[in-house]
Chains A and B, each alone.
Chain A
Amino acid sequence: MKIVVTVKLVPDPNAEKKIDPTTKRLVRAGVETVLNPYDEYALEAALQLKERVGGDSTVTVFTMGPEALKETLRKALAMGADAAVMLSDAALEGSDVWATAHAMAAGLKKVGFDLLLVGGLTDDGSTGVVPGALAEHLGLALVTNARKIEVGSGSLAIERETDTGYQQVNVGLPAVLTTALTFGEPRYASLKGIMGAKKKPIEVLALADLGLGEAAGGAGSKTELLSFAPPPARGKGQVVEAADGASGAHAIFEFLRAKKLV
């Protein structure tokens, strides 16, 4: 089974986010680039699936982003992915969700896959729309929030997590999945994995390789970011002064009860 996982290279989620007022984009300078955390979970799910299915299964990671971030992508190879594909083109800058999905879908078609795993959300953009848009562009079924994946012949039996429980869904391959965070913490890259990663291929695709041009980047986008604002500063918290631990606990309990949280 050929599994492809999309990964986005995002600024370190632990770093303070700043937006450049002129480009209206996240400032990346001085901030470490990492694999989008949700995508790391998807990659973990993919690697587990590969280990289970065995045979000649492979995991390929696919990203759209500047070639300068290759080093971050190599971390996915060090974790155990077999190959990586980068869609890199200056013309892709400023792509909105539609343009991103449009270009990525073309790249993914070229790469080919049986199963496409997509993280549910990116830490920087946080739209959560790309998985759906990708499935639409690819003309494939999308199953979101998969928490358990069983492989049948030509199809998958999936448990998808819902707010109240789970649903059992069967889907034919190829298909697009987003994963829940139930596959365990993403593994650490081992040192052997790191040493081996440089021997694994990273293929770089440009728009010309996909026969795309006009409908890319800001030019191909259907939305425009007009303005942005930082979240309103948080008001002062409520300070509970209590004589002792017991009355403090009581005050906190009353507060939670008033909010119907307990």
Chain B
Amino acid sequence: MNAAMVGAPDARDFLGIEALLGEEERMIRGVVRDWVRGRVLPEIAQWFERGILPRELAAEIGGLGLFGMHLHGYGCAGTSATAYGVACMELEAGDAGIRSLVSVQGSLAMYAIYRWGSEEQKQAWLPAMARGEAIGCFGLTEPDFGSNPAGMRTTARRVGSDWAIDGTKMWITNGSIAAIAVVWAQTDAGIRGFLVPTTTKGFRAHDIERKLSLRASVTSELILDDCRVPADAVLPEARGLGGPLACLNEARFGIVWGAMGSARSCYETALEYATTRVQFDRPIAGFQLTQEKLVNMLLELNKGTLLAWHLGRMKDAGKLHGAHVSFGKLNNVRAALAIAREARTILGANGVTLEYPVIRHANNLESVLTYEGTSEMHTLILGKAITGLDAFG
């Protein structure tokens, strides 16, 4: 084709990544984008400021079919992994807190049951969780064991045919709104996962206050005090740390995309602002320094989104390794933070208010950088993958 016939690139989809998506993926993107625009964007600043997440959102999101959307059967939509990523990107373009609700529900709690649960456990929980009627949480981290969950102190011991669980889980998303908690604990046979209905005697959850990031998301402490669950509460197929790590990989994959949602929102806000804000008698977008910022954002946003897409296709082809996900999470969250930071400077003082989404995304991304494996952990995973040497301990 004659070069002159190629239309100028679209500032909002510079590399034409949209065209790489399949029809269903585009439709799903459209629905989630519409929902975020109609339901989340008008109110998110207020939710964030007040530190709340309206309960009824779960049923709405369930109605759309977003919870566990890439799982098959049990009332789940059965989409591609790429479609799940696309949805995460749109949700996080709204707010990482909303995306976290969906990530934890679908990729941590539901996936744990889907991957490691018995048929009875799947039937009992997955359909209600897909509808958003039952919220799940995932308790791995403890006050003294974050990056190194292998050392966890929570224990589950046999009492007759039951299990008695004791311990504390910290920083647990959805903890106090959950109906079902997936709790990881040490047993005689190593780390095992348990399905603990939150109404069980000996189970308590209370919210962690004074959180300045991911404010539109519930983060709780779980206390299990001689919490008794029956023999069939254990996830039969999960043994050792591989159990929770498989779930984390699912959620991290969503974050690879989600981070680019935050980044896109920041970039688009900054671009719009820079072209309309006038200083020294011209739009600030006309200054070379501003253009460099915008172009840096453009590069990283498009590279990160392409990376997410590539990993999505690898996942759909069954060729995605955990280290690939680490590559994506490390790169894309780091890139998103840099974009949010640069976008914030373009907005000047407006960049520090909730009137614009940028500072909210920047704050949220601090959590995203830390949870699901800190950037340091992903660096060490990649370091080990290419050198063969373990630098964790």
Give A contacts to B, CB under 8 Å: 29-30, 71, 74-75, 78, 188-195, 197-198
CB pair B63 A194 closer than 8 Å:
no
CB pair B26 A191 closer than 8 Å:
no
Docked Cα-Cα span, A189 to B87, in Å, equals 14
CB pair A30 B7 closer than 8 Å:
yes
User: SS class of chain A's interface: helix, strand, loop or mixed?
Assistant: helix
Q: Is B338 an interface residue (CB 8 A)?
A: no
Chain B interface residue count, CB cutoff 8 Å, equals 20
CB pair B35 A191 closer than 8 Å:
no
CB distance from A129 to the nearest CB of B (A): 30
CB distance from A207 to the nearest CB of B (A): 27
Docked Cα-Cα span, A197 to B83, in Å, equals 15
CB pair A195 B78 closer than 8 Å:
yes
CB distance from B91 to the nearest CB of A (A): 13
CB distance from A138 to the nearest CB of B (A): 32
Given contacts A30-B10, A195-B77, whether A189 and B23 have CB atoms under 8 Å apart is no
Q: Interface-forming stretch among B64-72, B363-371, B379-387?
A: B64-72
Q: Is B237 an interface residue (CB 8 A)?
A: no
Number of A-B contacts (CB under 8 A): 49
CB distance from B80 to the nearest CB of A (A): 10
Give the residue of B7, B10, B35 whose beta carbon is less than 8 angstroms from that of A188. Answer: B35
Chain B residues lying within 8 Å of A74, measured Cβ to Cβ, are: 23, 27
CB pair A188 B64 closer than 8 Å:
yes
A-B contact list, 16 entries, CB within 8 Å: A29-B7, A30-B10, A71-B23, A78-B27, A189-B31, A190-B31, A191-B65, A191-B69, A191-B79, A192-B77, A194-B27, A194-B77, A194-B79, A195-B77, A195-B79, A198-B24
CB pair A194 B35 closer than 8 Å:
no
CB pair A75 B30 closer than 8 Å:
yes
Q: Is B181 an interface residue (CB 8 A)?
A: no
Chain A residues lying within 8 Å of B34, measured Cβ to Cβ, are: 188
Interface residues of B in 24-80 (CB under 8 A from A): 24, 26-28, 30-31, 34-35, 63-66, 69, 77-79
Given contacts A190-B63, A190-B65, A191-B66, whether A71 and B31 have CB atoms under 8 Å apart is no
Docked Cα-Cα span, A198 to B65, in Å, equals 17
CB pair A194 B7 closer than 8 Å:
no
Chain B residues lying within 8 Å of A190, measured Cβ to Cβ, are: 31, 63-65, 77
Docked Cα-Cα span, A193 to B65, in Å, equals 9
CB distance from A73 to the nearest CB of B (A): 11
Chain B residues lying within 8 Å of A194, measured Cβ to Cβ, are: 24, 27-28, 31, 77, 79
